[in-house]
């Protein structure tokens, strides 16, 4: 289904930080039964090379030498504890689960919720943010041979191109798709590792 299209759109949000590291670590998981689901995880790391505490801006340099400057939002507590040389680690997860509802007839809906987590005072800065979106949409057009499907949700219609056409085999116009999309990001800042003892 629209799994990969939606997930890759979500992962684009991590692209700027990806330039600040050497080699990102990532995993993918795809499961097509009983419905369809896909999950993507990405881990990015870099070293803080400059701090503007008035603007709450950090400059991060990755192993490849690329640098990125970004503003730390209010969810990152204990900002003044951050020091040049600290290690920034970002973990990002995006997952989409899809269930086919044969015959349709349910009310189209969209429910969205967010969760924010921050470290308590006195601990090293870290913050997490999660978002969950649940949608029920009608299948209004389908071309299994071309791998295209049109879904009409409560707010708009979207046309999607599906790379794995086999997913469309059991879907018919008039059916409904129930999708749950989840994404979460955790940013943590830790002191640099102590230098290895010199050999004698």
Least confident of 26-30, 100-104, 174-178: 26-30
pLDDT cut 90: percent of the chain above it:
6
37 CB-near residues (< 8 Å, 6+ apart): 3, 29, 30, 31, 95, 96, 97, 98
Instruction: State residue 140's pLDDT score.
Output: 93
117-170 residue pLDDT tens = 777 766 777 778 888 888 899 999 999 888 888 888 888 888 877 777 777 888
State residue 70's pLDDT score: 77
Q: What integer best gives the mean pLDDT of the chain? A: 75
- Contacts for 194 with CB less than 8 Å, ≥ 6 apart: none
**Other C-beta atoms within 10 Å of 142: how many?**
19
Question: Could you tell me which residue, 41 or 23, shows the higher pLDDT?
Answer: 41
Asked if the model's pLDDT at residue 15 lies above 70, the reply is: no
Confidence (pLDDT) at 35 = 57
Rg of the chain on CA atoms, in Å: 21
Which residue would you say has higher pLDDT here, 195 or 113? 113
| Tokens at 181, concatenated | 């999309």
C-alpha separations of 97 from 1, 30, 136, 171, 178 in Å: 10, 10, 12, 16, 8
Residue with the two structure tokens 């990532």? 26
Per-residue pLDDT tens digits for 42-83: 887 888 899 988 888 888 887 777 888 877 777 677 788 888
pTM for this prediction: 0.58
């Amino acid at each position: 289904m629209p799994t990969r299209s939606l997930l890759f759109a979500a992962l684009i949000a991590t692209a700027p930080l990806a330039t600040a590291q050497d080699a990102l670590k990532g995993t993918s998981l795809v499961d097509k039964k009983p419905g369809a689901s896909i999950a993507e995880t990405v881990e990015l790391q870099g070293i803080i090379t400059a701090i503007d505490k008035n603007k709450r801006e950090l400059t991060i340099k990755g192993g490849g030498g690329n640098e990125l400057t970004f503003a730390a939002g209010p969810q990152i507590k204990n900002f003044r504890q951050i020091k040049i040389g600290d290690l920034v680690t970002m973990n990002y997860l995006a997952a989409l689960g899809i269930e086919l509802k044969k015959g349709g007839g349910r009310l189209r809906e969209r429910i969205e919720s967010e969760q924010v987590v921050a470290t308590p005072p006195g601990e090293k800065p870290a913050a997490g943010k999660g978002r969950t979106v649940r949608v029920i949409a009608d299948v209004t057009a389908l071309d299994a041979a071309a791998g295209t499907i049109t879904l009409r949700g409560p707010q708009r219609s979207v046309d999607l191109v599906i790379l794995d056409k086999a997913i469309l085999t059991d879907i018919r116009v008039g059916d409904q798709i129930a999708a749950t999309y989840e994404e979460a990001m955790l940013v943590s800042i830790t002191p640099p590792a102590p230098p290895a003892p010199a050999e004698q």
